[in-house]
Amino acid sequence: MRLIEDHERLIYVDHAATTPVRAQAREAMIPHFAESFGNPSSLYALAQESRNAVDEARERVAGVLGCRTREVVFTSGGTESDNAAIKGTAHAMRKSGRHLVTTAIEHHAVIHSCEQLEDVGFDVTYVPPDATGIVDPEAVANAVRPQTVLVSVMLANNEVGSVQDVRTTSDLVKEKAAGLGTSVVFHSDAVQAAGKLSLDVDEMGVDLLSLSAHKVNGPKGVGALYVRRGTPIEPLIAGGGQERQRRSGTENVPGIVGFGVALELANEERHSFNDRCERLREQIVTGILERVPGAILNGHPQQRLSNIAHFSFQGVEGEPVLLGLDFAGISASSGSACSSASLEPSHVLIAMGMDPSLAVGSVRISLGIDNTQEDANAIMDVLPDVLRRLRAMPSLAARGPLS
């Protein structure tokens, strides 16, 4: 029997992992699966319908970023955008230097790209955060050397929600590089920040910016990389030369169209979204901290995304907690969706200085456009009960949901 007997629908609070496609984006995509199915690279009228749709979507994305349309490169998602930014720039600038700077709390798409570059002779500095998940801009700038070609600092962390001061970091990095007589490209992974924070690339002072559609109620399998004019970058994918020779492959027209609509709407609604999610998040945080002994809220207390609450619980592991929530009709996660199957503690929490035995007992609640006050109330009721049951029966803590 489910713990939530009066809640008829699934309570989905894993929006940092993915989001449902909103109706406006679905409707915009549908014609491009059938009637307007042409290849945008062809010349006939049917193909030009697809080309026009891609161009319109590019204008939508550029409008959100405050950039030129030609600076928007469509990709298969945030992971490809991060890979293209890190590897593409590093290889394009390898004659100038082979040193990169990033943070220890980046998404795995950045971390693993840097590790792959280390395997082929690049040197990478991973700047640690403080205990709240904030990276000191001066520490990032101080890591810049004469051989540094790229710095990558995410705008908002996908696990704990802490928001970095990208503008200050970029300014200090560029100032340090100028003093050394060099040039450094600055990249930011803004995948989790889209729809919550301003993405104006000039305000942030970035040269490269990664985005993903399915984090803003768009379709999976599509994203974008902003590439400031003049930024050296080698294409990650070679082929027919689409996207101005920067990313080959026939464009995913339906996905790109849905992405453009979803991102534009998310940006227009971000203030109301933030107001509503922050209210619900604070209620959940207050309720959990009051009702669960030993609960710890991770991330910066103020400098954080409006929709993410990340907790660690002493004496339990995250997996049975999540299974208990799922049994009650609540879908949450332990952190990054890309590593949810791993039994290893979060690299983000470890970098923040958390003991591994505590880090494994973590749960992330991330709110979205459809979450309600009733959802928040249910979470505050169910999560403490799941934790009480697990703590009372430690032999079951690693086995699964409690009946």
Q: Which residues are catalytic?
A: 338
Contact, 24 vs 265, CB < 8 A? yes
Determine what percent of the chain falls in helix, strand and coil, rounding each to the nearest 5. Answer: 45, 15, 40
Contact, 266 vs 273, CB < 8 A? yes
Tokens of 385: 């009960």
25 vs 180: CA distance, rounded Å: 47
* CA atoms within a 13 Å half-sphere pointing along the CA-CB vector of 251: 35
Residue 104 DSSP code: T
209 vs 387: CA distance, rounded Å: 39
Return the number of other C-beta atoms located less than 10 Å from residue 121's C-beta: 8
Burial class (CB within 10 angstroms; exposed 0-12, middle 13-18, buried 19+) of 149:
buried
User: How far lies 32's CA from each of 23, 40, 49, in Å?
Assistant: 15, 11, 9
Q: Which residues neighbour 100 within 8 Å (Cβ) at sequence distance 6 or greater?
A: 86, 90, 114, 117, 122, 123, 124, 125, 148, 149, 150, 151, 152
Give, in degrees to the nearest 5, the angle at Cα 250 between 51 and 53.
20
Instruction: Provide the sign of the torsion angle of the four alpha carbons 278, 279, 284, 290, taken in this order.
Output: positive
Tokens of 259: 């992405």
Tokens of 75: 């990709």
Tokens of 57: 């979507």
Coil vs helix vs strand at 338: helix
User: How far lies 103's CA from each of 41, 141, 162, 225, 288, in Å?
Assistant: 39, 12, 13, 20, 30
Write down how long the chain is: 403
322 vs 188: CA distance, rounded Å: 31
Contact, 226 vs 71, CB < 8 A? yes
User: How far lies 308's CA from each of 20, 124, 155, 260, 327, in Å?
Assistant: 17, 29, 14, 24, 22
